Amino acid sequence: MTAFPSPNCGERRGGAVPELIVIHYTAMPDAPAARARLCDPAAEVSAHWLIDERGHTEQLVDEAARAWHAGAGEWGGLGDVNSRSIGIELANPGDAPFPEPQMAALETLLRGIMTRWGIGPEGVIGHSDMAPGRKIDPGPRFDWRRLVLQGLALWPEGGEAPAPDPLVFTALARAFGYPEVEFDTLLAAFRLRFRPRHAGPLDATDMAQVADLAARFGTDGDQWRGA
């Protein structure tokens, strides 16, 4: 690991400590270009970590500080995600697979961060989760299931579920952590994370997945049972 300190950071607000890890892709041609932007004062963006295509990991902002990676959005009913999170940028243009060395380095980094800050797999989210409609990274080519198999992210188990209903889906997605957005935007963001190759109207699988996530990890996740 090497360090290229970015000036684009500050103190976490309100005494917040990291409880989330937000995964991004850089949407730039290569890691040097991404590093230059993340360390440019004029750009006013940064992240705590940058991992290049070969798996080389660079720290740009101290984890105790507030990096400027998340922007507008929320998770778990709370905003200012920058103050509540650690941001990881993966060098990727947005339309390419994530190479094996990069994914292996991400797994190593995640284990360290989760241990240092006591963050569970439910705290590992994508930029698209906290900013539906505004962001789509790390995108449909990111292998969430790989992280799940190592206990570094979560996955719905399915099972009992209410009938497909946009209002119920929205309530359950909100209970799980998603922000308040229009239904179509919310469904697209949910599927981008959990069913990236699926299209069409809301269906039973969507409902089973969101109900399971809300029941196991959200607030008021049992609200639909017996209704």
Q: What is the pLDDT of residues 51-97, one digit of tens each?
A: 999 999 999 999 999 999 999 999 999 999 999 999 999 999 999 99
Share of the chain above pLDDT 70, in %: 96
SS3 10: strand
Question: Could you state, in order of their start, the residue ranges of all structural domains in the chain?
Answer: 2-149, 166-217
At 182, the pLDDT band (50, 70, 90 cuts) reads very high
pLDDT tens figures, 103-147: 999 999 999 999 999 999 999 999 999 999 999 999 999 999 999
Letter string b/e over residues 164-176, b meaning 16 or more CB atoms within 10 A of that residue's CB: eeeebbbbbbbbb
Catalytic residue numbers read 89
Full-model pTM: 0.95
At 220, the pLDDT band (50, 70, 90 cuts) reads low
pLDDT tens figures, 10-66: 999 999 999 999 999 999 999 999 999 999 999 999 999 999 999 999 999 999 999
Q: Which residues neighbour 81 within 8 Å (Cβ) at sequence distance 6 or greater?
A: 20, 22, 70, 73, 74, 75, 130
CATH node for 2-149 = 3.40.80.10
Which amino acid belongs to residue 156?
P
